[in-house]
């Protein structure tokens, strides 16, 4: 199994077959798996779509990539706020996000998440 990717397979439990995603956790190096639905209820195409989404999640989240330090609270909030601004949220909502960021950093300090 490739150490840098998410694979799609099947598993059997209680006499039923399930689609299963398998990957190696980049932070710990341990193999992880997740059942995503029964074979008869979830099509292979839908299962493959879920596999590709999981792959993108692992590639895009900095805390899940190997070799990266955990982001600080301020960095994490800045990333979230930038994402919400790109989704064209209202200025009042963005202002509230920035307020929450200030309160979180004030209470917890600017340490890793």
Exposure of 2 in the CB half-sphere (CA atoms within 13 A) = 7
54-88 pLDDT, tens digit per residue, is: 888 887 765 555 455 677 888 889 999 999 888 88
Instruction: Say whether 6 sits in a helix, a strand or coil.
Output: coil
Q: What is the pLDDT of residue 64?
A: 52
Tokens of 68: 């990266």
Phi, psi of 22 (to 5 degrees): -130, 140
Q: What is the pLDDT of residue 1?
A: 47
Query: Which carries the bigger pLDDT value, residue 96 or residue 2?
Result: 96
Q: What is the pLDDT of residue 87?
A: 86
Tokens of 95: 């202002």
Residue for token digits 């989404």? 53
2-59 pLDDT, tens digit per residue, is: 567 889 999 998 889 999 999 887 666 788 899 999 999 999 999 999 999 988 888 7
Is residue 65 left, alpha or beta, with left meaning phi > 0 and alpha meaning psi from -120 to 50? beta
* Range 82-104 average pLDDT: 90
pTM of the prediction?
Answer: 0.52
Tokens of 36: 């995503």
Q: What is the pLDDT of residue 111?
A: 72
């Amino acid at each position: 199994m490739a150490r840098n990717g998410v694979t799609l397979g099947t598993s059997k439990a209680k006499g039923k077959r399930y689609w299963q995603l398998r990957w190696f956790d980049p932070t710990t190096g341990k193999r992880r798996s997740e059942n995503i639905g029964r074979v008869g209820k979830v099509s292979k195409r839908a299962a493959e779509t879920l596999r590709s989404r999981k792959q993108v999640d692992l590639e895009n989240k900095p805390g899940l990539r190997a070799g990266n330090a955990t982001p600080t609270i301020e960095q994490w909030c800045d990333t979230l706020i930038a994402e919400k601004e790109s989704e064209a949220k209202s200025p009042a909502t963005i202002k509230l996000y920035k307020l929450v960021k200030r309160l979180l950093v004030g209470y917890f300090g600017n340490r890793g998440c």
